Amino acid sequence: MRSTKYPVTIALTFLWIGFVCAISFMEAWLKFQAPGITLELGLGIGKLVFNALNKVEWALAIIIIIHTLISRQSIFKGKYLLISLVVFILTIQSFWLLPALFERANMHIEAQSVSSSSFAHYTYIAVEVIKIIALTLFGVSLLRNK
């Protein structure tokens, strides 16, 4: 059995992928199919879950970056670009997309008139896909760099 140079970073990267996939691509829409879940209740739950996910993602990003610096990992520039892209996306989500989506959810919850489509929602989905691809490429590149 071969060992890897980056076990902590690899584990945290794939844990991060699991969190995002489970919440963004499963929980987010499945909760609305549960009996008795109204739009307002589902949006309230979604706000709580996505706020918690965002905090977990920041913790994982910070730990990965600190661990990379402390362990003096010889990560080539492409890997730095991938993790930088992920942090950039996380920043956009934290400071633009989530606040816009939470505001929209609050309008629904308060029974205010809201348009049926949302640019922020579609953008959030698109950057989640890009983030998962970048994290996967980052994790696989660490696995290959033994």
pLDDT tens, residue by residue, 54-104 = 999 999 999 998 887 777 655 566 788 899 999 999 999 999 999 999 999
How many C-beta atoms lie closer than 10 Å to residue 138's C-beta?
Answer: 27
What per-residue confidence (pLDDT) applies to 105? 93
Mean confidence (pLDDT) of the chain = 90
Model confidence pTM above 0.85: yes
* Element (DSSP H or E) covering residue 1: none
3-state helix, strand and coil shares in percent for the chain, rounded to the nearest 5: 80, 0, 20
Contact partners, residue 40, CB within 8 Å, separation at least 6: 108, 109
Q: Alpha-carbon distance 26 to 29, whole Å?
A: 6
Burial grade of 146 (CB within 10 A; 0-12, 13-18, 19 or more):
exposed
Within 71-97, where are the H helices? 77-92
